[in-house]
Each structure stands twice: as structure tokens, then as C-alpha cells.
């Protein structure tokens, strides 16, 4: 089962979480709506290439990523969205597009939009398009060690 690595990581770090099944959905907004979770509290993971290296940008489902702002904030020469073909092999235990926001489990730097830090609880894909996990944002931050910056805007 794809989610086992993630659950073991959360359990090993004594995180309280809730696992939820939902109807099949693919966009972060659809998943949030399906599970009756506000878009501001559903964390979507966007894979970017920063100077050729894969990284994860995590932001609320109800926000859009501003690649120019992200590039400026982290001070790099090159930043672009990674294609699914480029990153799918980096997440062998996840369905494509259903990666949890723990890029650190996959050797990636994690950048979190400042707007996501304003919620007490987040939900996110649990490696599939039919399951999610809800947990305290502070536990996510403790485990993912993200760089918190402003790089998104509300849709």
C-alpha cells in the first residue's frame, strides 16, 4: 500500500493524525470539496525545478503559485514547474500528482507558502487520489523543516 511509508514516518514521530477516504478526485480544490475541508487548509504539493534540482512548493489549494515571486524570494537563477514525467519517478510509492507535502522524505527541499502557516490544521494527499491525512500544521512544520516564504496568491 503506497501510504505505508508516510504513516510509519508520522507514527515514528508520534504525530496525531486522521486518515480519511474520499471519492476519487484529482485537483486539490476537488479533493478539499469532496472531503468538506476548506481550500485554505488543504495543502497541495507542486514540484518545481530550482536551478535544475527538484524541490517541493506547498501551498493552500485555494491559492495559486507565483513562480516569479518564488524565484525572487529564494534568489536563484532558474525556476520552473517540473513536468509529471520529470518528477513521477521521484515518488515511487505515490500515485502521480498525489504526493504528500513531505518532500524531505524524497530528498527534496520543501518551501511552504506563508499563507498555509495561518491554519491550525492541514489536510493533504496520502499518496493516492482517494485518501488524505489531516494533522496539525505545527507537526507538519516540525517534520518537514520547510522554508517559509511568500510565493502564492488567493484565487
Q: What is the CATH number of the domain that holds 100?
A: 3.90.960.10
- The confidence score (pLDDT) of residue 36 equals 75
The confidence band for 1, taking pLDDT boundaries of 50, 70 and 90, is very low
| 44 in any annotated domain | yes
Tell me: pLDDT of 2 over 70: no
Q: Rounded to the nearest 5 degrees, what angle is found at the Cα of 106, between the Cα atoms of 23 and 29? A: 30
| Res. 91: pLDDT tops 70 | yes
Query: Which candidate, 47, 34, 29, 44, places its Cα nearest to that of 115?
Result: 44
CA distance 96 to 4: 16
> Does a structural domain hold residue 30?
yes
In this structure, what C-alpha cell is assigned to residue 111? 518551501
**Measured between alpha carbons, how far is 83 from 127 in angstroms, rounded to an integer?**
18
Mean pLDDT of the chain: 92
Lowest-pLDDT range of 42-46, 102-106, 129-133: 129-133
- Which among 106, 126, 144 is positioned nearest to 3, based on CA atoms? 126
89: number of Cβ within 10 Å: 8
Is residue 90 included in any domain, yes or no? yes
Split into its structural domains, the chain has a count of 1
In a domain, 154, yes or no: no
What pLDDT does residue 139 have? Answer: 98
Q: Is residue 69 part of a domain?
A: yes
**Residue 155 domain-assigned?**
no
Residue 34 lies in a domain: yes
**28 contacts 124 by C-beta, under 8 angstroms:** no
Percent of the chain at pLDDT > 90 equals 75
Range of the domain at 38: 4-149
**Does pLDDT of 142 surpass 80?**
yes
What's 96's DSSP letter?
T
- Alpha carbon 66 to chain centroid distance? 16
Amino acid at each position: 500500500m503506497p501510504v505505508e511509508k508516510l504513516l510509519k514516518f508520522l507514527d515514528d514521530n508520534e504525530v496525531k493524525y486522521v486518515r480519511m477516504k474520499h471519492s476519487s478526485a484529482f485537483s486539490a480544490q476537488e479533493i478539499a470539496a469532496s472531503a468538506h475541508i476548506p481550500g485554505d487548509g488543504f495543502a497541495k504539493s507542486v514540484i518545481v525545478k530550482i536551478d535544475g534540482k527538484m524541490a517541493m512548493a506547498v501551498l493552500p489549494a485555494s491559492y495559486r503559485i507565483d513562480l516569479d515571486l518564488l524565484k525572487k524570494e529564494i534568489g536563484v537563477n532558474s525556476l520552473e514547474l517540473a513536468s509529471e514525467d520529470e518528477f513521477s519517478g521521484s515518488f515511487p510509492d505515490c500515485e502521480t500528482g498525489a504526493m504528500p507535502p513531505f518532500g524531505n522524505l524524497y530528498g527534496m527541499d520543501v518551501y511552504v507558502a506563508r499563507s498555509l502557516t495561518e491554519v491550525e490544521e492541514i489536510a493533504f494527499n496520502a499518496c493516492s487520489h482517494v485518501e488524505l491525512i489531516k494533522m496539525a500544521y505545527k507537526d507538519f512544520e516540525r517534520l518537514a523543516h520547510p522554508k517559509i516564504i511568500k510565493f502564492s496568491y488567493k484565487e
